[in-house]
Chain A
Amino acid sequence: MAEAIRVRDLRKNYGDVQALDGLSLTVEEGEFFGLLGPNGAGKTTFINVLVGLVRETGGEAEVFGFDVETDYREARDRIGLAPQEFNVDRFFPIREVLCHKAGYHGIDHEEAQRRADEALKTVGIYEKRDTRFDWLSGGMKRRFMLARALVSDPELLILDEPTAGVDVQLRHDLWDIINRMNDEGTTILLTTHYIEEAERLCDRVAIVDSGRKVEVASPDELMSRGTDTVDVGLADPPTVAPTFDYDGVVESRMAEGRLEVVTSRGGALVPDLLRDLEAMGHEVTDLDIRRASLEEVFVDMTRTDSSVGGSSEAEEVVQ
C-alpha cells in the first residue's frame, strides 16, 4: 500500500525549545490515523510542517511521495486541513470562502460553486451559505471548518482537534462525516484530546510526547499493553488485601470494601485468583474485569516517557 504521509527524523526548534525531536512515522493511504499526545507534544507543529505553515529544522516530510518543501504544490493540492483555530476569511459569506479555497486548488469557478454547495450540505449548514463566518454559532463554525477542508476533495484530510468544544450530538455528526470520507478512500490524520474519539475512529494511533513518537499501534493493541483490574467482591472483606505471588500481578489492594487486583494478564489470572482466595478462606460474591482504557495507557506512556526522559527504546520497537 502507498504511503500517504512519510516523515523521517523530523525536527523543529524554536530557539532552545524542540517542538519536534526526530519524529518518524508513516501513514498508509486510506488509513484512519490518530495522533495523541499531551499539550505541547508537537502534534500541531507536525501538521503545520505538512501544510507549509512551519519550516522544519531538519529531517524529511513527504505527502503521497511529494516533499512538502520542494514539491509543495503537489503535496498541498492533496491535503484538506481543518485546523484547531478558526482561521477563516471574515470578509466574505461562507459559500464564497469555500469557492475561493477551491479556486486556489485550481478548480474553476462554476465547479467551485457546485463543490461549495455540496460541502455545505454535507456538514449541514447549507442554509447559512450567505452568512459570514462571524455570525455562525460555535457548532456551525466547527462544521464549516470541516466543509472548508472537504471542498477541494482532498486525498488526505488533516483534522486538528475537529470536535474540540462541541456537544455530543455534533461530535457524533462529525464522526459520521469523517468516517464516511474514510470509507470512500480518503486518508485521515486526526489529532484529538478525546481518547474515546481515537478509540472509536482510528485504525492506528501514534502517541507522541515532547516532539517524539512514543508508540504506534492500533487502539486494541495499545489497550492490550495496559494493565487490567480484576474487581472482586468478598463476603467478609479483610482490611488488608491478600498478596498473590505469581506472574502478572502488579498490585492488590482494598478499595471501598472490595479487592482490586491489578494485572497484566487480564482474565487469564482469574482461575488462579479464585483458587487462592478460596484456599485463604474467602468467599467470593461477585467478580468483574475492567479492561485498561486507551486513556490509561496514554497517561502511562506519556508520563513514563517524561519521567525517564527518553523513548528511543520504544521507537526501535515500532520502526
Chain B
Amino acid sequence: MNRFDLVGFRTLLRREILRYVRRPRNTFLPPMITNVLYFAVFGVVLGGRIDEIAGFRYILFILPGLIVLGSISNAFENASFSIFHGRWNEYIHEVITSPLSHTSMVLAYIFAAALRGLLVGAIIAGVGVVFLWLTGTPLGVAQPFYFAAFMLVIALLFASFGVVGGLWARDFDYLTVLNQFIIRPLVFFGGVFYSLDVIPEPFKTLSYLNPMIYMVNGVRYGMLSYADVDPDLALVVLTGLTLVVIAVDVYLFKEGYGLVD
C-alpha cells in the first residue's frame, strides 16, 4: 500500500472507529448489561448449584465463552451494520466513489469492526472479573499467547463475515436473521455454557461440525489451559479461514457486489 492509500485507509478506519466510540450507549452499554445478567444468573444463581466442570467453577468455565459470544457478535454486527446502513442511505458512495483501493476499504471496515469486538470482549472480561472477585474465584490467563491469538483471529473472522453480511443484506431483517438465527444459536451450541464431555452422542460428535466449538475452546484454552479440541489445529484452521474470508471480501468489493449497479 503506498502512502497515498495509507492516508485514505487511516481516514476510513478512524471514521469507522469514531462511529461506535461516540455512541457507547448503543455499542458498549448493551453487551455490558447483558453480560452482567449472564454472570448474575448463570454464574452466580445457577452456577452455585452446578458442580465444577473439568475442575473449574462454573462461573469461571463460562467466562471465555461469554467473551467469545460478545466479541464475535459485535465484530459481525459492526461491519454488517456499517456497510448495510451506508448502502441503505447511500452514503457509502462517499467511500466507493473515492480513489481508495478495494483492499484498503475492506481492511478499514474489518479492522474497525474487529477492534469493537475486542473492546466488547474486554468489557465482558471486566464484568467477569468483578463477578469472580465477588464469588471469591481466582482467575489468571494461563496461555497468554493463545488467548490473544484466538481473540484476534475470531474478531477478524467475524468482522470479515460481517462485511459479507453487509453486502448481501437487502433489508434490515437480513441482519437480524444472520445474528439471531445463525450466529447466536451456533455460539450457544458451541460449548459456551457446557463442556462437550457432558453431552451424549451423537450430539457430541455433531458439535465438532460447529466452528464455534473451536473458537470458544481456543479462548478457553488461552484462559484456563483447558480445551475440548486441539488448540493448535483450531488456531491454524481459523487463521486460514479468516484469510480466505478477507480475500472474499476484497473480491466482492472489486466486483461491486451489493455496491454498484
Residues of A within 8 A of B (CB): 14, 48, 51-55, 72-74, 76-77, 79, 81, 83, 85, 87-92, 97, 99-101, 103-109, 112, 148
Judged by a CB distance under 8 angstroms, whether B95 is at the interface is: yes
Chain A interface main SS type: mixed
Q: Is B19 close to A, CB under 8 A?
A: yes
In the bound assembly, the distance between CA atoms of A101 and B96 in angstroms comes to 11
B179 at the interface (CB under 8 A from A): no
Say yes or no: is B5 at the interface (Cβ < 8 Å to chain A): yes
- Cβ-defined partner of A53 (8 Å) among B89, B91, B97: B97
> 29 A-B contacts, Cβ less than 8 Å apart?
A14-B261, A52-B96, A52-B256, A53-B261, A55-B261, A72-B99, A73-B100, A73-B101, A76-B97, A76-B98, A79-B97, A81-B97, A87-B89, A87-B91, A88-B91, A88-B94, A89-B15, A89-B86, A92-B15, A92-B18, A92-B19, A100-B11, A100-B12, A103-B12, A104-B12, A104-B100, A106-B3, A106-B4, A107-B7
Within 8 A of A (CB), among B103-150: none
Please state if B91 and A106 are interface contacts (CB–CB under 8 Å).
Answer: no
Interface residues of B (CB under 8 A from A): 3-5, 7-8, 10-12, 14-15, 18-19, 86, 89-91, 93-101, 256, 260-261
CB of A100 within 8 A of CB of B261, answer no
Verify B99–A77 contact, CB threshold 8 A: yes
Q: A48-B261, A91-B19 are in contact. Are A105 and B94 (CB under 8 A)?
A: no
Given contacts A76-B99, A107-B7, A108-B7, A101 and B94 within 8 Å (CB-CB):
yes
**Residue numbers in B under 8 Å from A108 (CB-CB):** 7
Residues of A within 8 A of B10 (CB): 103
Contact A89 B94 (CB under 8 A): yes
Residues in B whose Cβ lies below 8 Å from that of A74 = 99
Pair B97/A52 contact, Cβ less than 8 Å: yes
State in angstroms the CA–CA spacing of A112 and B8 once bound together: 11
